[in-house]
């Protein structure tokens, strides 16, 4: 299945290129594209996509994707919650190696995905034009646009950008290549090539880079990843579907049994922690959890500042822990005089400490994170819970 590349134009139409002999055949529309655009890569102009580089210490790809927004949140103007973060492929031999990152607006990307889906191209890859630039520092001039890779950033800017801005961008990179006569003249340097003076030439250059190994970053990641579908033709395929469904059902029942067992084990662990909590916080109850609940509930009326019942606070804590993947409660302490609960939790990463603190605070309690430290493969963090009043 030959790969086809297309440029999304301002009016929403596509200009596509496919291999023909040793060159490219460029045409309007998407001839030769497989169902749902499975062999199609759509290039965006990239004006609204920021290219960054960051080191993301992680043990696996899922953890890297969760940590990426926090690694670059100081570099972007929009809130992390409204931004989509996509990563380049990781180095399996060195998971901490710097990663190329593209950041786009969730709202804008939703519109593009919806437009492609309406055109029957819902599985097409989406790539910002500047992310396929070769690795050397350079500015490349296209029709009405300039692509750039300077240091650890890639970007697209409007060709009408002022000369002073271009000069300031290039100043730290005296060896950067300039492709395009207008840009070279504006910055007072020599052009290495004429760049692209038409959309067709621009698309061919992007396709050459992508086809030659600089594949760029596919923005279809996370919530925008392509959902795989399976199509069956003929009765024989329906029998295969039935067999697959039976296997899936057996797998589901097996996983349910395993999860039930794990939940029972976790419940037993929580009961043991509750008893220890009761013994430390209320020595006079000799570990009787029910008696502790009664005592704590009777303390709730002090000018609206009392710590909520142990039952309520524990429920908030356990519910919050369930929202932070990989978190594990290690200990709980309650100070009756200060009306504070102090918990020690094991996390997968330092970012998870702040995440749990935020979740607990949003649930109505005040939460303060204390010391966090690395212990083996886990991060151990202390949190103090107080009344939210």
Question: What is the domain range of residue 368?
Answer: 264-386
Q: Any idea what DSSP says for residue 252?
A: H
> The domain spanning residue 348 has which CATH number?
3.30.1360.100
Three-state secondary structure string covering 11-50? CCCEEEEEEECCEEEEEECCCCCCHHHCCEEEEECCCCCE
Q: Is residue 15 part of a domain?
A: yes
Nearest to 355 by CA among 342, 372, 338, 340: 372
Residue that is last in its domain, among 175, 209, 224: 224
The strand pair at 83-87 and 99-105 is best described as antiparallel
Distance (Å) of CA 147 to CA 6, 152, 166: 17, 14, 12
Domain assignment present for residue 12? The answer is yes
pTM of the model: 0.59
370, part of any domain: yes
In a shared domain, residues 287 and 207: no
Domain boundary, last residue among 224, 243, 277:
224
Structure tokens belonging to residue 17? 């290129």
The total of other beta-carbon atoms located within 10 Å of residue 90's CB is 17
pLDDT tens for the 389 residues of the chain, in order: 689 999 999 899 999 999 988 899 999 988 889 989 999 999 999 999 999 998 887 778 888 888 888 888 888 878 888 899 999 987 777 777 888 999 999 999 999 999 999 999 999 999 999 999 999 999 999 999 999 999 999 999 999 888 898 999 999 999 999 999 999 999 999 999 999 999 999 999 999 999 887 778 999 998 898 876 554 444 454 566 667 777 777 777 666 666 666 666 666 666 776 666 666 566 666 667 676 666 655 554 444 445 556 667 777 888 888 898 988 888 888 776 777 888 899 999 999 999 999 998 888 888 888 888 888 888 999 988 887 65
Residues 110 and 15 in one domain: yes
Asked if residue 333 is part of any domain, the answer here is yes
Cβ pair 202, 24 in contact under 8 A:
no
- Specify whether 38 is located in the same domain as 94: yes
My answer on whether 173 and 282 are in the same domain is no
């Amino acid at each position: 299945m030959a790969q086809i590349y297309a440029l999304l134009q301002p009016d929403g139409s596509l200009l596509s290129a496919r291999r023909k002999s040793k060159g490219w055949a460029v045409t309007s529309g998407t001839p030769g594209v497989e169902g749902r655009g499975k062999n199609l890569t759509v290039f965006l102009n990239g004006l609204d996509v920021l290219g960054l580089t960051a080191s993301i210490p992680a043990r696996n790809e899922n953890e890297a994707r969760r940590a990426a927004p926090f690694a670059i949140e100081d570099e972007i103007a929009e809130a992390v919650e409204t931004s989509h973060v996509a990563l380049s492929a990781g180095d399996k031999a060195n998971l901490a190696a710097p990663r190329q990152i593209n950041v786009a607006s969730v709202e804008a990307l939703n519109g593009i995905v919806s437009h492609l889906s309406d055109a029957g191209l819902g599985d097409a890859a989406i790539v910002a034009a500047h992310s396929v630039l070769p690795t050397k520092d350079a500015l490349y001039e296209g029709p009405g646009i300039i692509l750039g890779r300077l240091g650890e950033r890639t970007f697209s800017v409007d060709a009408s950008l002022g000369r002073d801005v271009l000069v300031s961008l290039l100043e730290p990179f005296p060896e950067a290549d300039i492709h395009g006569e207008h840009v070279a003249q504006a910055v007072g340097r020599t052009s290495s090539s004429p760049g692209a003076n038409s959309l067709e030439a621009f698309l061919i250059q992007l396709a050459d880079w992508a086809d030659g190994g600089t594949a760029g970053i596919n923005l279809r990641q996370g919530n925008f990843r392509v959902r795989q579908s399976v199509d069956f033709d003929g009765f024989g395929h329906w029998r295969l579907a039935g067999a697959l469904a039976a296997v899936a059902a057996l797998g589901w029942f097996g996983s349910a049994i395993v999860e039930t067992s794990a939940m029972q084990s976790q419940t037993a662990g929580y009961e043991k922690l509750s008893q220890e909590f009761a013994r430390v916080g209320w020595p006079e109850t000799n570990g009787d959890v029910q008696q502790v609940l009664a005592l704590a509930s009777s303390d709730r009326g002090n000018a609206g500042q009392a710590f909520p019942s142990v039952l309520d606070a524990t429920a908030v804590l356990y519910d919050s822990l369930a929202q932070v993947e990989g978190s594990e409660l290690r200990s709980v302490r309650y100070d009756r005089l200060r009306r504070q609960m102090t918990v020690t939790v094991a996390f997968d990463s330092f970012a998870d400490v702040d995440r749990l603190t935020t979740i607990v605070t949003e649930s109505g309690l005040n939460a303060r994170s204390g010391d966090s430290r690395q212990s083996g493969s886990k991060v151990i963090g202390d949190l103090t819970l107080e009344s939210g009043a």
